[in-house]
Chain A
Amino acid sequence: MTHPAPSLQVRIGSLTLRNPVLVASGIIGYGAEYERLVDLEAIGGIVTKTVTRRARAGNSPPRVVETPSGMLNSIGIENPGLEGFLEIKVPILSTLPCAVVVSVEGEDVREFCELVEGVSGSGVAHAIEVNISCPNVGPHGLRYSTDADMAREVMTAIRPLTTLPLIAKLTPNVTRIAEIAAACESCGADAVSLVNTFIGMAVDSVTRKPILGTVLGGLSGPAIKPLALAKTWEVVQAVDIPVIGMGGITSPRDALEFILVGSTAVQVGTALFANPSLPEACVKEIETYLRRSELPSVGDLIGALEVPPERGVIRAGRSAS
Chain B
Amino acid sequence: MNLVPCTVVENREITPGNYLLTLKVPRAFSRPEPGQFVHLRVSPEVEPLLRRPYSMEGFFEKGNLRGVRIYYSVVGRGSKALSRQPKGQRLDLIGPLGIGFAPSPRRVPILVAGGRGVAPLLFFSRKLRAKKRPFVFLFGARGARELYGVREIKGGRLHLATDDGSIGYHGSVLTLLKREWKEGGHTPLTAEIFTCGPHGLLHEIAEFARAHGIRCEASLEGPMACAVGACRGCPVPLRVGAVENAGRYPAMCLEGPVMDATLVDWDRLP
Q: Which residues of A contact B (CB under 8 A)?
A: 26-29, 33-34, 36-37, 49, 57-58, 60-66, 68-71, 73, 75, 78, 221-222, 250-251, 270-274, 276-277
Is B263 positioned at the interface, with any CB of A under 8 Å from its CB?
Answer: no
A311 vs B270: C-alpha distance when bound (angstroms): 49
A221 vs B49: C-alpha distance when bound (angstroms): 8
Is B24 positioned at the interface, with any CB of A under 8 Å from its CB?
Answer: no
In chain B, residues 32-50, which have Cβ atoms closer than 8 Å to a Cβ of chain A?
41, 46-50
Closest residue of B by beta carbon distance from A63: B233
Is B136 positioned at the interface, with any CB of A under 8 Å from its CB?
Answer: no
Contact with A along B220-264 (1 / 0, CB 8 A): 001111111111111111000000000111000000000000000
Task: Give the total number of A-B pairs whose CB atoms are below 8 A apart.
Answer: 104
> Is the Cβ of B50 less than 8 Å from the Cβ of A71?
yes
A61 vs B223: C-alpha distance when bound (angstroms): 10
A64 vs B234: C-alpha distance when bound (angstroms): 8
Closest residue of B by beta carbon distance from A68: B47
Residues of B with C-beta under 8 A to A28: 230
> Is the Cβ of A71 less than 8 Å from the Cβ of B225?
yes
Is B77 positioned at the interface, with any CB of A under 8 Å from its CB?
Answer: yes
Is B94 positioned at the interface, with any CB of A under 8 Å from its CB?
Answer: yes
> Is the Cβ of B229 less than 8 Å from the Cβ of A71?
no
Q: Which 10 A-B pairs have the closest CB atoms?
A: A29-B230, A33-B230, A64-B233, A78-B232, A62-B270, A273-B225, A63-B233, A33-B228, A33-B229, A61-B235
Nearest-CB distance from B91 to chain A (Å)?
11
> Is the Cβ of B223 less than 8 Å from the Cβ of A65?
yes
> Is the Cβ of A64 less than 8 Å from the Cβ of B225?
yes
Our pick among B48, B228, B270 for the contact of A61 (Cβ within 8 Å) is B270
> Is the Cβ of A37 less than 8 Å from the Cβ of B3?
yes
Is B51 positioned at the interface, with any CB of A under 8 Å from its CB?
Answer: yes
Is B269 positioned at the interface, with any CB of A under 8 Å from its CB?
Answer: yes
> Is the Cβ of A58 less than 8 Å from the Cβ of B231?
no
> Is the Cβ of A69 less than 8 Å from the Cβ of B49?
yes
Is B158 positioned at the interface, with any CB of A under 8 Å from its CB?
Answer: no
Is B268 positioned at the interface, with any CB of A under 8 Å from its CB?
Answer: yes
Residues of B with C-beta under 8 A to A274: 41, 46, 49-51
The 18 sampled A-B contact pairs (Cβ below 8 Å) are A29-B230, A33-B230, A36-B1, A37-B3, A49-B232, A61-B234, A61-B237, A66-B77, A66-B78, A71-B225, A75-B233, A78-B249, A251-B46, A271-B49, A273-B51, A273-B231, A274-B46, A274-B50
Nearest-CB distance from A296 to chain B (Å)?
33
Greatest chain A CB density within 10 A among B41, B49, B237, B249 is at B49
> Is the Cβ of A222 less than 8 Å from the Cβ of B229?
no
A272 vs B39: C-alpha distance when bound (angstroms): 13
> Is the Cβ of A71 less than 8 Å from the Cβ of B234?
no
Decide yes or no: A37 and B237 within 8 Å by CB, A61-B269, A222-B46 being known contacts: no
Is B2 positioned at the interface, with any CB of A under 8 Å from its CB?
Answer: yes
Known contacts A28-B230, A61-B269; can you find 5 more A-B pairs with CB under 8 A?
A27-B230, A58-B249, A66-B49, A71-B49, A78-B249
Residues of A with C-beta under 8 A to B78: 66
Closest residue of B by beta carbon distance from A211: B270
Nearest-CB distance from A237 to chain B (Å)?
30
> Is the Cβ of B235 less than 8 Å from the Cβ of A63?
yes
A222 vs B248: C-alpha distance when bound (angstroms): 31
Residues of B with C-beta under 8 A to A273: 50-51, 225-227, 231
Residues of B with C-beta under 8 A to A49: 230, 232
A66 vs B230: C-alpha distance when bound (angstroms): 17
Our pick among B222, B225, B230, B247 for the contact of A57 (Cβ within 8 Å) is B247
> Is the Cβ of B249 less than 8 Å from the Cβ of A57?
yes
Decide yes or no: A60 and B237 within 8 Å by CB, A71-B50, A276-B3 being known contacts: yes
Closest residue of A by beta carbon distance from B223: A64
A271 vs B51: C-alpha distance when bound (angstroms): 10
Nearest-CB distance from A207 to chain B (Å)?
10
A36 vs B4: C-alpha distance when bound (angstroms): 11
Greatest chain B CB density within 10 A among A65, A75, A274 is at A274
In chain B, residues 197-241, which have Cβ atoms closer than 8 Å to a Cβ of chain A?
222-237
Greatest chain A CB density within 10 A among B47, B223, B225, B270 is at B225
A250 vs B45: C-alpha distance when bound (angstroms): 11
Residues of A with C-beta under 8 A to B230: 27-29, 33-34, 49
> Is the Cβ of B94 less than 8 Å from the Cβ of A78?
no
Residues of B with C-beta under 8 A to A68: 47
Residues of A with C-beta under 8 A to B50: 66, 71, 273-274
Nearest-CB distance from A156 to chain B (Å)?
32
Nearest-CB distance from B85 to chain A (Å)?
15
Contact with A along B1-31 (1 / 0, CB 8 A): 1110000000000000000000000000000
Closest residue of A by beta carbon distance from B46: A250
A66 vs B50: C-alpha distance when bound (angstroms): 7
Residues of B with C-beta under 8 A to A63: 232-235
> Is the Cβ of B229 less than 8 Å from the Cβ of A29?
yes
> Is the Cβ of B268 less than 8 Å from the Cβ of A61?
yes
Nearest-CB distance from A251 to chain B (Å)?
8
Residues of B with C-beta under 8 A to A58: 232, 235, 249
A271 vs B230: C-alpha distance when bound (angstroms): 14
Greatest chain B CB density within 10 A among A66, A273, A277 is at A273
